[in-house]
Amino acid sequence: MADVPLDRVAETAATEVEDLTLHHPHSWLTRYVFSQDAKTISIQYTVTALAIGFIALFLSWLMRLQLGFPGTFAFIDAAAYYQLITMHGMMMIVYVLTAVLLGGFGNYLIPLMVGARDMVFPYANMLSYWFYLLAVVILLASFFAPGGPTGAGWTLYPPQAILSGTPGQESGIILMLVSLIVFIAGFTMGGLNYVVTVLQGRTRGMTLMRMPLTVWGIFTASVMALLAFPALFVASVMMLFDKIFGTSFFMPSLIELGTPLDYGGGSPILFQHLFWFFGHPEVYIVALPAFGIVSDLIATHARRNIFGYRMMVWAILAIGALSFVVWAHHMYVSGMNPWFGFFFATTTLIIAVPTAIKVYNWILTLWRGDIHLTVPMLFALGFIVTFVNGGLSGLFLGNVVVDVPLSDTMFVVAHFHMVMGIAPVLVIFGAIYHWYPKVTGRMMNEALGKLHFWITFLGTYAIFFPMHYLGLLGVPRRYHEMGEASFFPASAQMLNAYITVLALVVGAAQLLFLFNLIWSIRHGREAGGNPWRATSLEWQTPETPPPHGNWGREQPTVYRWAYDYNVPGVAQDFIPQNMPPEAVPLGPRPAPGGMS
Amino acid sequence: MYVALALFVIAIGSVVFHLLSPWWWTPIASNWSYIDHTITITFWITGLVFVAVVLFMAWCVWRYRHRPQQAEVLYEPENRRLEWWLTVVTAIGVAAMLAPGLYVWRQFITVPPDADEVEIVAQQWQWSYRLPGPDGRLGATAIRHVSDDNPLGLDPDDPRGADDVMVQGGELHLPVGRPVKAVLRSLDVLHDFYVPEFRAKMDLIPGMVTYFWLTPTRTGTFEVLCAEMCGVGHAFMRGFVVVAEESDYRAWLEQQQPARPAAQRAVPVIAER
Amino acid sequence: MTAAVAFLVLLAALAAWWLYGQRLMSRPWLAAGIVEDTGGLAHMPAAKVGLGVFLAVVGALFSLFLSAYTMRMQLADWSALPVPRILWVTTLLILLASAALVWAVRSARRGEKERALDGLLAATGFGSAFLGGQLIAWDELAGSGYRLADNAANSFFYVLTGLHGAHILGGLVALVAVTVKLWRSPDAAAAQLPVELCALYWHFLALVWLVLFAVITGWAGDFLAVCRQLLS
């Protein structure tokens, strides 16, 4: 690990001096534990989030067992089932997807891709991780608290979230809200870094329009998260007051299982507005980084420039802005003023246009490319299929009157698992296979990777596509068992059992990934600095894995955009962003085949 | 090769599954067949897009896969015409779904003036109903009036409520062919009155009154489900709606007891305050 | 959610103005070579931009609380509480603290260390007095029977002033740290940026307080009603 020695500050160029005031680790503890290096923080975030992801996956197994074979497993009663779905949902959405895509990938990729030495506020960045870990610990503590974790559903709707008909109302709900508040505080410290590093930390020549789309996606998502998470913060604080101090922000006068309570006058709908003011942007906070990353995976592995780069950037910005004015499409049947339906259905369907443009541009990038079906590319293709499927079913739910019969049914569950569950997870896998060689210097095993891809992609599609039809049939979500119902045929219960079996298989297949991840650290093939022959800056570091400070003596200078693949008249099929125009080897394009 | 084949199978397989699926919406029993039509339109448009996108991908993956004799890769950063053209087509497709959606939504929220009122009250974990008596009007209610004798919290001073008919935990009967405005109220937490055959549904919220309306179009007994999570009994919060011919409905209504028998009714003071 | 959406529209306008200068319409594949970055933020210190972004987050937080306030206020059980007189004094104090920081920034820019220190100390004093005044207001209200859970108006008053007070407390800690730094450093120039950051943070919180005060006293509502009448 060659740190930039501080005694070289004097002889470096003026533009570098500021960056050399990095925090240099002096001990094992500050290097690997309380590290202020964005790359270490990234690994800490990713590993923690993956661990939570496996716990949440395990919870989903248990609830699938109950749904597939109701009554067979005595320990999964209604209360336990609600605790399982609540914790599965909240963990996956906030503590896994948000944490990996922003805290994990953001930390690793932003500084490297914009040519910075580190994040601009490394100390706050370190605190961000430790706050996140604290939030995770508080969340997990609720499993051991009296009454267990909250079973209010991940939406935590009052009044039921804090009343005795709901499991975990003793302490689980309090721990959940406190954990969210800590998470938000921690995220704010990290998010400031992601945003300001893109604003101020870009190296010479890295204009905004030369940034890879990954950076655009993570940057926009971070801005959105900074502005959307306060809504969850406000809602959580107010609900804590309602629960602990007996205020009536959200609580109307009501009878709790026969006993009148002291609450009065509050509005449950107010909570829903605040929650979804966070909750809808959250969908795009997860999606936009995935959009960005998948754009770069496709361009790199199809050896072709991303098609319509400008449109892609504008679409990201448009989606980011629009996503703040669609929140009430989660509330069409909530009893809010029905006239809002016209506005929110319109804004929601308008968002489909920039999103569709992104999909077209991905597949047009494949067109007339040189497609290498590497593991990252497979995951990118899987993402497109899954995302298109989930996005299109979103057009059902966003269109106010179509939502009426479908809302709160399994159709919704299938939709959001496709679009913001499986789709971003496929991107996360693809991204890990793609950037693993940069992080460790070794490749992940390709055969295992392909096996992992096929089971995960086909398996999840076969799980969630038929699930839509349970919703069409009328099966409500959040039922621990359907029981007897005239419209619920025996075949539908068989479908449930089939989904459960498949979910167990696909879940178990994730161990392949885990094994590959750990095994390849020591036994993977040596990767070299740029195994995918990619153009963006993170592949051009002088050393791999990049040491503290990333760039050795001199920060790179950027001469071009991130997508110069197969440029006519150039003798290699990619031009790194930091290659000066005079160094570009001219000549006929090489015959393809350098890499399989 | 396998990748292209897999994509092809997914595109075609999804359509085949859709066509052969034994799981489909229940036969409709209300006037909201408009909603079904809108869903059908949406299925057509989204289905076409899905198949087109995935098949095009499959073709690209097959045609432009990495090979020794590779055709030249096209260097084309953008194509303004193609992009605008796709944008416009998408916008038209979106509008084709949104327009009928909004049109039907307007009907959905506009209650016909001649609709009968029925109140649906939810509590953990039971449905109750209240129908106006001969005066055709429902009496006022408040949570503070709720007691063992007055489970729905009727205002004892409101004369309009005296003849109201209450059904506690039983079946709701509705006459076929007459528009009904369901007025919704909850005593404790959020619930959602959901009859799959009616298509319509709406949340019940403590502290406020919500509504939806429908016209039952065929007789029969239909299952009521709760569709908004309401605690551990959520899945068991069931009930039945019986849609009957007008005469049968009248006969049923006759048998129901009013809220306060005539003898106990407070002398109607002055209704207006 | 009007307040929150209005705040975000304001931010979006700022972002659009900045992006306008970033040549988002350019075709990046056409020009290879060195392009110097344009745009107004390029030469600002990262800390200042960071604080700006942080204040946007704080602004979103308070605007969301105000949205919740206005929505909750329209419900039937709302009964506004009397505004304690001491809040007039604390409003004056927070403005005085802001003024003292303006003085400190000016002095620090001129390199006048002693005067800058005076400004910082005065701001710390006024700021602490502000917090003390807010506590007295709490005490007064609680003493006259306006307890937290009695009415949503009370709950909002305590939560909003408490949250604002917590931010002020953070500002005070920063002020003390900067004062010590300036006091120890040989010349005022070294502490110029931290002093500016403190001032920016403080002005923003003073502005937030003015808005909160206007909403709590009901003037904001009256003002909007008048505007609506003028428009219609």
**Hey, are the CB atoms on B97 and A395 less than 8 Å from each other?**
yes
- For residue B75, report the phi and psi dihedrals to the nearest 5 degrees: -95, 100
> Measured between CB atoms, does B77 come within 8 Å of chain C?
yes
Q: How many domains does chain C have?
A: 1
What is the DSSP-derived secondary structure letter of residue A529? S
pLDDT-based confidence at residue B269 (cuts at 50, 70, 90): very low
Decide if A159 contacts A254 (C-beta within 8 A).
Answer: yes
Query: pLDDT value at position A24?
Result: 67
The answer to whether residue B271 scores a pLDDT higher than 50 is no
d(CA C54, CA C201): 9
In SS3 terms, A29-55 reads as HHHHHCCCCHHHHHHHHHHHHHHHHHH
The answer to whether residue B137 scores a pLDDT higher than 90 is no
Query: pLDDT value at position A22?
Result: 57
CA dihedral over B4, B16, A423, A400, signed as positive or negative: positive
d(CA C55, CA C207): 12
pLDDT-based confidence at residue B136 (cuts at 50, 70, 90): confident
pLDDT-based confidence at residue C186 (cuts at 50, 70, 90): confident
Q: Considering only CB atoms, which chain C residues are within 8 Å of B74?
A: none
CA dihedral over C142, C146, C151, C154, signed as positive or negative: negative
Which tokens sit at A116?
């910075």
Rounded mean pLDDT, A274-302: 96
What is the DSSP-derived secondary structure letter of residue C162? H
**Hey, are the CB atoms on B61 and A361 less than 8 Å from each other?**
no
Let me know if residue C121 belongs to a domain.
yes
- Mean pLDDT score of chain A: 91
Burial of A14 (0-12, 13-18, 19+ CB in 10 A): exposed
C-alpha triplet B177, B180, B181: angle, nearest 5°: 160
Half-sphere exposure of A506 (CA within 13 A, CB side): 24
The answer to whether residue B263 scores a pLDDT higher than 60 is no
Q: How many domains does chain A have?
A: 1
Which tokens sit at A545?
């894995």
- In which residue are the tokens 């005022």 written? C188
Query: pLDDT value at position A309?
Result: 95
The answer to whether residue B259 scores a pLDDT higher than 80 is no
d(CA A122, CA A201): 12
Query: pLDDT value at position C40?
Result: 54
- Mean pLDDT score of chain B: 90
Closest to A114 measured CA to CA, from A106, A125, A103: A106
Least confident span in A120-124, A346-350, B32-36, B136-140? B136-140
The answer to whether residue A20 scores a pLDDT higher than 50 is no
Let me know if residue A593 belongs to a domain.
no
Closest to A158 measured CA to CA, from A244, A286, A267, A283: A267
Query: pLDDT value at position A588?
Result: 80
- Per DSSP, the residues of A215-235 read HHHHHHHHHHHHHHHHHHHHH
Cβ contacts of A166 within 8 Å, gap of 6 or more = A82, A150, A151, A152, A160, A173, B231, B232
d(CA C94, CA A229): 28
Domain that residue C168 falls in: 92-232
Q: What is the CATH number of the domain that holds C215?
A: 1.20.120.80
Half-sphere exposure of B128 (CA within 13 A, CB side): 19
Domain that residue A557 falls in: 6-478+502-583
Q: Considering only CB atoms, which chain B residues are within 8 Å of C71?
A: none
CA dihedral over B134, B137, B143, B144, signed as positive or negative: negative
**Hey, are the CB atoms on C57 and A230 less than 8 Å from each other?**
yes
> Measured between CB atoms, does C38 come within 8 Å of chain A?
yes
The answer to whether residue C78 scores a pLDDT higher than 70 is yes
d(CA B58, CA C168): 59
Number of residue pairs across B and C with CB atoms under 8 Å?
A: 3
Please give the residue of chain C at the shortest CA–CA distance from B76.
C29
Let me know if residue C36 belongs to a domain.
no
Assess if CATH 2.60.40.420 describes domain B116-262. yes
Let me know if residue C47 belongs to a domain.
no
Rounded mean pLDDT, C216-230: 79
Query: pLDDT value at position A13?
Result: 40
Tens-digit pLDDT profile for residues A353-384? 999 999 999 999 999 999 999 999 999 999 99
Please count the other Cβ atoms lying within 10 Å of the Cβ belonging to residue A591. 9
Decide if A93 contacts A286 (C-beta within 8 A).
Answer: yes
Query: pLDDT value at position A595?
Result: 45
Q: Is B207 left (phi over 0), alpha (psi -120 to 50) or beta?
A: left
Cβ contacts of A350 within 8 Å, gap of 6 or more = A322, B94
Cβ contacts of A269 within 8 Å, gap of 6 or more = A331, A334, A335, A336, B205, B208
CA distance C212 to chain A (A): 16
Tens-digit pLDDT profile for residues A184-220? 999 999 999 999 999 998 998 899 999 999 999 999 9
**Hey, are the CB atoms on A487 and B196 less than 8 Å from each other?**
yes
Tens-digit pLDDT profile for residues B74-132? 898 999 999 999 999 999 999 999 999 999 999 999 999 999 999 999 998 899 999 98
Query: pLDDT value at position A591?
Result: 62
d(CA B257, CA A409): 36
Taking any CB pair shorter than 8 Å as contact, residues of chain C touching chain B are: 27, 29
Tens-digit pLDDT profile for residues A31-72? 778 889 999 999 999 999 999 999 999 999 999 999 999 989
Q: What is the CATH number of the domain that holds A290?
A: 1.20.210.10
Q: Considering only CB atoms, which chain B residues are within 8 Å of A374?
A: none
d(CA B137, CA B139): 7
- Taking CB atoms within 8 Å and a gap of at least 24, the contacts of C38-41 are C38/A207, C41/A199, C41/A200
Q: Considering only CB atoms, which chain C residues are within 8 Å of B77?
A: 27, 29
Point out which residues pair with A346 in neighbouring strands: none
What is the DSSP-derived secondary structure letter of residue C33? S
Domain ranges of chain B: 2-65+79-109, 116-262
Burial of B118 (0-12, 13-18, 19+ CB in 10 A): buried
Let me know if residue A1 belongs to a domain.
no
Rounded mean pLDDT, A104-114: 96
Query: pLDDT value at position C187?
Result: 74
